[in-house]
Amino acid sequence: MSQQPTPILEIHDLEVHYGAAQALFGLDLTVNSGETVALVGANGAGKTTLLKTVMGLLRPSRGTIRFAGRDTTRLSATEMVRCGLALSPEGRQLFGPLTVQENLELGVLPLKLGAAEIRTRLEEIFALFPRLAERRRQQAGTLSGGEQQMVAMGRALMSKPQLLLLDEPSLGLAPLITDTIFAIIHQLSRSGVTILLVEQNAARALEASKKAYLLASGRIVHQGDSDRLLADPRLRHAFLGAGSDEQPEKSRLGAAGLTNIRLEKPDMSNQTFMPPFKDETELKAHQLEGLKWTVNHAFNGSSFYHSRLEEAGVTPENITNLDDIRRLPFTTADDLRDGYPFPLRAVPFEQIVRIHASSGTTGKRKVLSYTQKDIDDWVHFFARAYEMAGVTPLDRVQIAVGYGVWTAGMGFQLGCEKLGALAVPAGPGNIDMQCQFMLDFQSTVFCATASMALLMAEEIHKRGIADRINVNKIIYGSERSSVSMRKKISELFGGAELFDIPGLTELYGPGTGIECREHDCIHYWADYYILEILDPETLEPVSEGEWGEMVVTTLCKEAAPLIRYRTRDITRIIPGRCACGSLLPRHSRIRGRSDDMIKFRGVNIYPSSIDAILSQIPGLGSEYQVHLTRDEKSGKDHMRLVVEQAEGSDSQRRMELSRESVHQIKHQLLVSCEVEIAAYGSLPRSERKSQRIFDSRIKDEIVG
């Protein structure tokens, strides 16, 4: 993603006339190598004129066209094919009496190839379009519209172009066939073919492309990343022009085919779930109001909090500024378990509309109650999480997390529907079905635990289906996510963007923050809760930017408010504003839990630190286990790591990898250990959290 884009087509100040009539006005446009760029606009906007000019079929009256680094402004169409350009024209333009194969062969006519090379290329085209293979001897004129479109695209691909110009591929096709054609375009795009796509159906074109230009009356009126354009209210304005909401078909938007999608609904295209605050001062004022409300509500509504606050000598009147939060008593997971089945309840039962519970296996579950407003708030900020990740109403979100009494599935589902995207409630597990759904529904967003995402990534790789799926974003629950694991998941998913989404049942559920597209830590919703970072042992605040335990206080939670709830999650605040511009503050990815922390020979070690070190060693995989034992006689602790080699890494290197791991751990964590390198795939994988720490020492050594 950080790779510098190489322009393959650069158009500058292009003007084209048909006789005295001007068709294009000073157009600038760039297509980078490997990109799919859409050119959308109404009939007569100048799209086809532009393509024909690039192809050498029309002469510009002004401006330059550079293709693959050279000036091609004055070249003919035949010369352009030799330069590596191919056009699949509007209306297909096949030779009806010729067979499918003969039509395809026309695509390489200007290249003067040998018969053997032509045969090889034909087989490649037939592999891409199996339907054409069955009909290779059939006359092109007798094919269906969709099949004719495949021949036109295949003919253009025969020349192995550096840039494929696709003019109105879906024109006149039934919706089902259009789906097939776009699936092929997507597949071409994933396999690295650079495409300039001209389409009247703007929604489909934007969905299929990375970048888009909006053309109206021979001018470019808007350009940008396609997914952002889809979500951007300015797109509406740019396209609606003289049209109105009542008569969308009269508008340029209507003519561009954008009226039949949900984007057209005003509340969906203009919606945002971001907070309205202008600056940090406004946010802090909101937090103080929320804190006062919460303490008052808890004091008067909950017998548990009433006695806790009384013990601490605090009444609601004592809260006059944000620092007063430090006078408040802590709440812990034990308080929740002790209050089973309705802990912390601060409203009468008739106001509770739902309960959720944690999936905890030991002791009683943590159960949380919700009022309708609690649910609405949760759904609102979950939609915000999707918005921050760039998910739009046109996305298809495959939700592979647990549905049931726990919060995960429900949160992902309701947030997705609130945003207006299409939800595929797949649930966890069932790898076969997940693959099938990705292929058939062309899901664009995949939500899962990190372990499940890795499992899916490996499966997609194994089945060789990466270029037939369409997942471009992975939203994974805040579990363990080392750099190498993220990199591997992204790569095996064909370059998908990863977003870490934290959350916990006590605090509504998942979605309490998310990574933004800068991927620099996690924005959290400071308008819904206050986050303190405290030293887990002294419970005093750490200095800014230091690691410590996350302690949360809710600002508007009704049924089960949280006052200084000790989450046990270890993180830190990232000082300063994010490059994305959001004023919502950030914390680091969760580094571990204060109760997961290993105390080994006087050193505090978080599993994530081991992750980080192993990630830096080339040749190691992402799976590992830590075994801690104690020698009965000497009382000395011993640490042994079992680490998988990377897939395809040379087994001869095991000794060397082991030595390097021992050295790095000694160097960075200041502890000695033994490292055993295991074969790739030999450690157990799990769809849920994989167990990595096996501690057989006396338990009270672990900080609780």
Contact set with Zn ion (CB under 5 A) = 516, 518, 578, 580
Q: How large is the angle between the packed helices 607-615 and 483-492, nearest 10 degrees?
A: 60
Residue type, 489: I
DSSP H or E segment with residue 11? strand 7-18
Nearer to Zn ion, 577 or 666 (CB): 577
Nearer to Zn ion, 32 or 582 (CB): 582
Give all strands (DSSP E) within 478-597, no chain letters. 497-501, 503-504, 509-510, 513-515, 522-524, 529-534, 548-554, 565-571, 573-574, 586-587, 592-593
Residues 695 and 701: their CA atoms lie apart, in Å, by 10
How far CA 55 is from CA of 84, 87, 328, 633, 695, in Å, comes to 10, 7, 72, 82, 68
Residues in the chain: 704
Question: Alpha helices of 46-174 — where are they, by DSSP H?
Answer: 47-55, 77-83, 100-106, 115-128, 130-134, 145-157
Nearer to Zn ion, 83 or 578 (CB): 578
Nearest-approach distance from CB 276 to Zn ion, in angstroms: 18
Q: What is the DSSP letter of 691?
A: P
Q: To 10 degrees, the CA torsion angle through 49, 55, 56, 57?
A: -50
Nearest-approach distance from CB 449 to Zn ion, in angstroms: 23
DSSP string for 315-356:
-GGG--SGGGGGGSPPB-HHHHHHTTTSTT--S-GGGEEEEE
Nearer to Zn ion, 584 or 677 (CB): 584
Judge contact between 342 and 481, C-beta under 8 A: no
Nearest-approach distance from CB 537 to Zn ion, in angstroms: 32
Nearer to Zn ion, 197 or 516 (CB): 516
Residues 130 and 4: their CA atoms lie apart, in Å, by 36
Nearer to Zn ion, 396 or 586 (CB): 586
Nearer to Zn ion, 578 or 693 (CB): 578
Residues 442 and 467: their CA atoms lie apart, in Å, by 11
Task: Find tokens 């494929």 and name the residue.
Answer: 164
Nearest-approach distance from CB 582 to Zn ion, in angstroms: 5
DSSP H or E segment with residue 373? helix 372-388
Residues 541 and 562: their CA atoms lie apart, in Å, by 18
SS3 of 425, please?
coil
How far CA 699 is from CA of 488, 596, 599, in Å, comes to 34, 12, 10
Nearer to Zn ion, 164 or 521 (CB): 521
